[in-house]
């Protein structure tokens, strides 16, 4: 191919999936001239798997992306067909919003946003090579010979990287849903010295809505009470005519069919070489691993308002097509289901994430960032969460500024990236609430409190959205201060009300805030006894309630975080010579050399590195007399 | 691959492009259980080139498809962003409707229609092999090993057939717009003995709307006066807020850039092996062939309401990307245009159409039909026109009925198919009004008159639409009869009116219909002098005007057609032994053996077959004593 100079940009983003869209928008919004190159302009923010966004931990990530100034939350708020708050019966730490998306509209809307973004050029093209000079990335080359130069490059190639689709005995080269795979970019990464792993993920069949007997399933309608992913969405825009999902189950017959065909299941025959996700298993995997479970839940989810395609959540499979059909037809309500797309597994290349810094910059090539599925995660939200950080850090690098590294206590995004770069991952990594040690701090309701300040400071969260956040904060704090100072008198009305709620009677005046701590009472009920001139918005009230009711727990968690902060602030010099340190165990040294932690805190989280090793390391670093190597890795 | 039985259908359609969608809908609506298999369910009725439907001849085809009971007309009426009647200043034979489509909505809407169609199963899958036994097709096999059996199979693989994209020095295997190509099906057709040609077509770059300086271009707004493609669409649904197109031109600078880079133009360097369409040339082709033309028109067409992509009609090119950029930037209004997709050429396999019967059944394999781009045409409308006929004939074959063969006088569809199967084509075939000898009969306004009866008889046009057509016909005929019998008196008012129109005064009473023949007069103006109780709908009035005003010409054309009809009715027995006929020239014999015409009329249109040969053939056939071969071809 003849090459030509296609232009000089600040930032290049490769791949317009969920990671790439956020990365490109973040960089452009922070003022970097950005080009976003992608294989197919008709597959932007494409959902090759479930047509939904959110859920436990993942939903919080969407709000974190939103609080930083990202797009996923706004995009789903514009294109959902159903919205539900999960775990409403449980505490605020595990509540999670989940939306069914109109798959086509979701993609169209994101494409439009990218097209309209200032500083951003969206262009169809297949990136085949990185230009690297002296260990610093300089640009990329596309299949048409176009050389794009930039100061920073973000790769988000997703499952297209040497993708191979697997169905039963069949295996062929393809990106998701029979799209063109990306082959040369992977080869180029190998040439550059990157260590790639092979992961796999899978998707269930899609069936025709009119072929489902819904009477044999349970309806799962959306919520009536308005909710949104984006802090800027309005209650009055909440969708009234939502689409329902439907619940059914696999049964003994389905499980028998699967067991009878395990000799043809690529997962077990050796055809699948990539490593699949434990937390997102295929149905054949579930039947084998949980052999005593008589049934598994299946959710029938519409793929959009304008289509008859229905996604069978829970039935991900790479069994031969005929077996998938038999399994489907053994399920209540799906006896006559017409399959429109066959489930499949896809194998793809992953950049083993220990090769990344917490900024998502690669250690091997300066100013090169990777994000999303290609870092070993699975999921749209995980991709978006990394994408926005990679885009931010690319833009900050261009500005000559320090990278943004979210701490584990800042958000699930911080947890995820720290897990990836510190522990690596041997299988597709999904966010789970259990991965966070500060679950009660990383709530769905307070992502704005955790991250708006950061989003604003780096120049990503727009001023008017920041002001709205500040107003909300002021209102919350003012009202907390007020109720902490108002003593409610034991009037006859109040006592009668308390009795009606089975709440102990007051002997004396009692702080509004203390009364609110009683589990059987809430703000709305107490409010009439100490009203304001004007009622507060509901998100302010819910914030007040959570902060007061969980005050004790939150304080404890914050105290722990503060203690850790000191460790987080203790930086380890780059390229430190671990071999020169006496007293660190050999295994710990090997791990430290591989991961190259940037702080003592990060080092302490590496498995195989013990507290004793950390003490030695800390003393050594603080002594100031450490040796540094010329070239690490 | 392990194979399995995926079901028995009446009709299988392969490929859900413009041909396949019509074929599958026609077959299913005629009562055949039908399965439509396609590589990617997200690319149904996808428009890889211009986002528009209609224009001269092509627009008439859309109305013919509609009159038969097809979908294209209704689909574009639901999804256009601009509608224009072309050539309104000229006679009714060349008037043509043209609509800009919302590309994404067009595809979504067609997908929904397919999903909702009774008797029709839409399924993602790649067909790799035909099952043929004793020269009769029995079904198909997909990449997943699924064996679908049916009595008839329609192939509409389009430009995906061993597609190769070409841009400058680059050539790679791909379907349109970086989709997966179809490779094994082509190889299977070769194995079965089909003769394939290699054609090519091309598409221009797409640019970002906001990067265009529209002030340097001329606006081309849509029509205010309602028009529709489908006879069932209503005036009150006509779109008010249409999008404009914009006109600009290439100039000497653009032409110079192209000339300077001809050594890199794949069309001229030998990289393109496929044959391109003369009537749809690339810009480099135009510059070379019309070297004295100082400029060429370019229309900037929006790709939809929800996107910033703009199609640069007239700038189709496979020049290297950098040259395309230079050319773009040399054009008025596009100085700063941002290119989003690069123009490219695509090469693909074509079943040389002399291998087809006028029913679109292949001569080699019984009950196998091919339609669309793979028969050597180019264009969505040409594809739809063939698709509906192939679908109809597949369904008729299943019913054991005679195929539907439209005559050249029935419609442009008849012209096209006859051209293809009788003359073959050495390049991508486009419909042009000049291809029809009965242009005045094949009008945009009378497709319903020509084809509703047929559509209804074969069971495709629904009863209520047929009744609406009958009502319109009755109204037209009644009013024609009335105005042919009403003699307008030379009242003072009428004389004054005629004078105002510069029309000769009446001496005596004068037939309304004769007066209407005067070019300066129209029905609306004369109507007040002989009003009805209730005014007639506008499509009835326009029909009356055309039938009266062009009565003489139409009569002559009809007479010619009637004369030919006798020839059309003279069937040539299948597998007749041309070598046994004395007196036919050798060249004519060769052509007759290759084409195997089904009627004397078809034989007479074969180039190289002269009237003398036809006379001999006619006598020989009519004698009844002819020899028939066991196996032809
Ligand atoms: C079959 C399947 C099943 C899945 N199942 C699940 C699931 O059950 N649960 C779940 O949470 N997630 C699932 N996922 C994962 C989910 O789709 C991804 O996590 C998410 O899409 C990742 O986003 P991304 O931006 O990292 O990559 P992608 O969405 O894959 O986007 C990558 C983009 O980069 C483009 N690209 C790639 N290479 C190049 C190149 N060289 N040049 C230019 N552009 C390039 C691609 O065309 C694509 O547009 C599944 C994915 C697939 C394919
Ligand atoms: C780059 C380009 C430029 C063009 N330029 C013009 C132009 O300037 N003017 C013009 O009028 N027309 C143009 N066309 C042509 C226009 O796109 C086609 O005429 C029209 O789309 C043909 O419709 P079709 O149904 O025959 O095929 P297509 O629209 O190509 O549809 C074929 C379908 O079959 C599917 N398929 C193929 N093989 C298999 C298989 N083995 N199994 C299952 N499914 C299969 C494909 O995925 C596709 O969905 C252009 C096309 C391309 C690609």
pLDDT tens for A454-510 read 999 999 999 999 999 999 999 999 999 999 999 999 999 999 999 999 999 999 999
The pLDDT of residue B632 is 46
Q: Is B19 in the pocket of ligand 2 (CB under 6 A)?
A: yes
Ligand nearest to the CA of B22: 2
The closest CB to that of A144, out of B2, B126, B342, belongs to B342
Give the integer Cα–Cα distance in Å for A416 and A376.
11
Give the integer Cα–Cα distance in Å for B338 and A506.
72
Helix axes A447-457, A463-483, angle to 10 degrees: 140
Hey, how many other C-beta atoms are within 10 angstroms of the C-beta on A221? 12
Measured in degrees and rounded to the nearest 5, phi and psi for residue B206 equal -110, 140
B91 annotated to a ligand binding site: no
B32 annotated to a ligand binding site: no
Which atom of ligand 2 is closest in space to residue B179's alpha carbon? 47
Residue with tokens 């006679």, as numbered in its chain: B91
The pLDDT of residue B259 is 96
| A4 close contact with B: CB closer than 8 A | yes
Q: Cβ distance B154 to B390 under 8 Å?
A: yes
The closest CB to that of B170, out of A39, A144, A340, belongs to A144
> Over the Cα atoms of chain B, what is R_g?
26
A141 annotated to a ligand binding site: no
> For residue B556, with 0-12 CB atoms within 10 Å meaning exposed, 13-18 middle and 19 or more buried, which class applies?
exposed
Closest chain A CA to residue B109: A306
> For residue A527, with 0-12 CB atoms within 10 Å meaning exposed, 13-18 middle and 19 or more buried, which class applies?
middle
**Pairing outcome for strands B4-14 and A510-511:** unpaired
The closest CB to that of A115, out of B109, B122, B308, belongs to B308
Report, as ranges of residue numbers, the positions in chain B whose pLDDT lies below 50: 632-633
Which residues share a beta bridge with B131?
B139
Q: Cβ distance A344 to A267 under 8 Å?
A: no
Give the integer Cα–Cα distance in Å for B93 and B87.
10
Q: Give the closest residue to A304 by CA, choosing from B112, B276, B63, B215.
A: B112
Q: Is B51 in the pocket of ligand 2 (CB under 6 A)?
A: no
A286 annotated to a ligand binding site: yes
Which atom of ligand 1 is closest in space to residue A18's alpha carbon? 25
Q: Cβ distance B158 to B19 under 8 Å?
A: yes
Q: Is B160 in the pocket of ligand 2 (CB under 6 A)?
A: yes
Strands (DSSP E) found in A303-448: 309-313, 339-341, 344-351, 368-370
Which atom of ligand 1 is closest in space to residue A126's alpha carbon? 42
Give the integer Cα–Cα distance in Å for A41 and A37.
9
How far from A378 is each of A110, A155, A414, B305, B374, CA to CA, in Å? 20, 16, 16, 33, 40
Q: Is A359 in the pocket of ligand 1 (CB under 6 A)?
A: no
Instruction: Choose from A39, A321, A325 for mutation: most chain B CBs within 10 A.
Output: A321
| A171 close contact with B: CB closer than 8 A | no
Which atom of ligand 2 is closest in space to residue B375's alpha carbon? 26
Ligand nearest to the CA of B165: 2
DSSP category for residue A42:
G
Q: Which of residues 465-504 of A touch B (CB under 8 A)?
A: none
Q: Which of residues 383-402 of A touch B (CB under 8 A)?
A: none
Q: Which of residues 249-278 of B touch A (CB under 8 A)?
A: 264
Instruction: Write down the CATH number for the domain with range B570-623.
Output: 1.10.150.570
Q: Which fold has domain B463-553?
A: Arc Repressor Mutant, subunit A (1.10.10)
**Mutational pocket test of ligand 1: of A13, A26, A48, the residue with most ligand atoms within 8 Å of the beta carbon:** A48
Q: Is B16 in the pocket of ligand 2 (CB under 6 A)?
A: yes
Pair of tokens at residue B284: 């480099």
| A97 close contact with B: CB closer than 8 A | no
Pair of tokens at residue A291: 């052999």
The closest CB to that of A116, out of B41, B43, B308, belongs to B308
The closest CB to that of A4, out of B104, B167, B322, belongs to B322
The Cα of B178 is separated from the nearest Cα of chain A by a number of Å equal to 6
The pLDDT of residue A83 is 98
Question: How far apart are the CA of A160 and the centre of ligand 1, in A?
Answer: 7
Q: Cβ distance B17 to B158 under 8 Å?
A: yes
Question: How far apart are the CA of B157 and the centre of ligand 2, in A?
Answer: 7
Q: Is B49 in the pocket of ligand 2 (CB under 6 A)?
A: yes
Q: Cβ distance A396 to A458 under 8 Å?
A: yes
Closest chain B CA to residue A113: B307
DSSP category for residue B443:
-
Give domain limits for chain A: 206-345, 463-553, 570-623
Same fold, B206-345 and B570-623: no
Ligand nearest to the CA of A312: 1
Whether residue A39 and residue B178 make contact (CB cut-off 8 A), yes or no, is yes
The pLDDT of residue A631 is 60
Pair of tokens at residue A486: 């108002």
Q: Cβ distance B357 to B393 under 8 Å?
A: no
B210 annotated to a ligand binding site: no
**Mutational pocket test of ligand 2: of B23, B52, B378, B417, the residue with most ligand atoms within 8 Å of the beta carbon:** B378
Closest chain A CA to residue B103: A42
Q: Can you give the length of chain A in residues?
A: 633
Q: Has residue A278 got a pLDDT over 80?
A: no
Q: Has residue A100 got a pLDDT over 80?
A: yes
Give the tens place of pLDDT for each residue, A117-157. 999 999 999 999 999 999 999 999 999 999 999 999 999 99
DSSP category for residue A21:
H
The pLDDT of residue A293 is 95
- What average pLDDT does the segment A302-324 reach? 97
Nearest CA to ligand 1 atom 12: A379
Question: How far apart are the CA of B188 and the centre of ligand 1, in A?
Answer: 33
Whether residue B179 and residue A177 make contact (CB cut-off 8 A), yes or no, is no
Give the 3-state DSSP-derived string for B211-230, with helices as H, strands as E and coil as C: HCCHHHCEEECCCCCCCCCC
The pLDDT of residue A304 is 97
Rounded to two decimals, the ipTM of the complex is 0.92
| B169 close contact with A: CB closer than 8 A | yes
Q: What is the largest CA-CA distance in chain A?
A: 88
Ligand nearest to the CA of B428: 2
The pLDDT of residue A633 is 44
Ligand nearest to the CA of A35: 1
The pLDDT of residue B274 is 80
H/E segment holding residue B101: strand B96-101
Instruction: Return the number of CB contacts < 8 Å for A and B.
Output: 149
Q: Is B375 in the pocket of ligand 2 (CB under 6 A)?
A: no
**Mutational pocket test of ligand 2: of B155, B159, B184, B316, the residue with most ligand atoms within 8 Å of the beta carbon:** B159
What SS3 state is found at A310? strand
Q: Selecting from 3.40.1280.10, 3.90.1580.10, 2.40.30.260, 3.40.50.300, what CATH number does the domain A206-345 have?
A: 2.40.30.260
Helix and strand numbers (H, E) in chain A are 21, 22
- What average pLDDT does the segment A394-408 reach? 97
Residue with tokens 């609306």, as numbered in its chain: B524
Closest chain A CA to residue B325: A6
The Cα of A198 is separated from the nearest Cα of chain B by a number of Å equal to 23
| A33 close contact with B: CB closer than 8 A | no
Q: Can you give the length of chain B in residues?
A: 633
Which atom of ligand 1 is closest in space to residue A160's alpha carbon? 37
Question: How far apart are the CA of B166 and the centre of ligand 2, in A?
Answer: 16
């Amino acid at each position: 191919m003849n090459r030509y100079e296609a232009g000089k940009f600040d930032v290049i983003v490769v791949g317009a999936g969920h990671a790439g869209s956020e990365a490109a928008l973040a960089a452009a919004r922070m003022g970097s001239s950005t080009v976003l190159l992608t294989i197919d302009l008709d597959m932007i923010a494409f959902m090759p798997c479930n047509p939904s966004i959110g859920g436990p931990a993942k939903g919080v990530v969407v709000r974190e992306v939103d609080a930083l100034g990202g797009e996923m939350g706004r995009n789903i708020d514009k294109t959902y067909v159903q919205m539900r708050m999960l775990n409403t019966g449980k505490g605020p730490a595990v509540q999670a919003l989940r939306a069914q998306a109109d798959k086509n509209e979701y993609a169209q809307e994101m494409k439009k946003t990218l097209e309209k973004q200032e500083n951003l050029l969206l262009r169809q093209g297949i990136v085949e090579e990185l230009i690297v000079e002296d260990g610093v990335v300089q640009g990329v080359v596309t299949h048409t010979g176009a050389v794009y130069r930039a100061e920073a490059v973000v790769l988000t190639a997703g499952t297209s990287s040497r993708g191979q689709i697997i169905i039963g005995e069949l295996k062929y080269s393809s990106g998701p849903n029979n799209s063109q795979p990306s082959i040369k970019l992977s080869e180029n990464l190998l040439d550059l010295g990157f260590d790639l792993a092979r992961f796999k993920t899978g998707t269930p069949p899609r069936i025709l809505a009119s072929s489902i007997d819904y009477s044999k399933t349970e309806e799962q309608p959306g919520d009536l009470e308005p909710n949104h992913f984006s802090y800027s969405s309005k209650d009055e825009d909440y969708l009234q005519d939502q689409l329902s999902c439907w619940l059914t189950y696999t049964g003994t017959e389905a499980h028998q069919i699967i067991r009878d065909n395990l000799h043809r299941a690529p997962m077990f025959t050796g055809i699948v070489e990539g490593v699949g996700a434990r937390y997102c298993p295929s149905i054949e995997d579930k039947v084998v691993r949980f052999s005593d479970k008589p049934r598994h839940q299946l959710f029938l989810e519409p793929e959009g308002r304008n289509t008859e395609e229905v996604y069978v959540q829970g039935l991900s499979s790479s069994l031969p097509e005929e077996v998938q059909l038999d399994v489907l037809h053994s399920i209540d309500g799906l006896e006559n289901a017409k399959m429109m797309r066959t489930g499949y597994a896809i194998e793809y290349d992953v950049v083993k994430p220990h090769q990344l810094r917490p900024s998502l910059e690669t250690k091997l090539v300066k100013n090169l960032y990777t994000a999303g599925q290609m870092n070993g995660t699975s999921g749209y939200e995980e991709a978006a969460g990394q994408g926005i950080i990679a885009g931010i850090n690319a833009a900050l690098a261009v500005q000559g500024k320090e990278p943004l590294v979210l701490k584990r206590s800042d958000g699930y995004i911080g947890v995820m990236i720290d897990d990836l770069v510190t522990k690596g991952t041997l299988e597709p990594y999904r966010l789970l609430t259990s991965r966070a040690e500060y679950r009660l701090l990383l709530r769905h309701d307070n992502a704005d409190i955790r991250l708006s300040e950061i989003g604003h400071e780096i120049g990503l969260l727009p001023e008017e959205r920041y002001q709205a956040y500040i107003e909300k904060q002021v209102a919350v704090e003012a009202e907390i201060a007020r109720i902490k100072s108002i003593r409610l008198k034991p009037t006859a009305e109040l006592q009668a009300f308390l009795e009606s709620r089975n709440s102990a009677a007051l002997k004396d005046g009692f702080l509004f805030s203390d009364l609110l701590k009683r589990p059987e009472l809430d703000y709305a009920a107490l409010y009439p006894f100490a009203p304001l001139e004007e009622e507060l918005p509901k998100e302010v009230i819910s914030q007040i309630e959570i902060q007061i009711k969980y005050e004790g727990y939150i304080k404890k968690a914050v105290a722990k975080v503060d203690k850790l902060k000191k460790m987080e602030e203790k930086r380890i010099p780059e390229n430190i010579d671990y071999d020169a340190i006496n007293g660190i165990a050999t295994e710990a040294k090997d791990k430290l050399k591989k991961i190259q932690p940037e702080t003592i805190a990060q080092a302490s989280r590496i498995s195989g590195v013990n507290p004793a090793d950390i003490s030695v390391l800390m003393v050594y670093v603080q002594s100031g007399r450490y040796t540094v190597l010329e070239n690490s890795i």
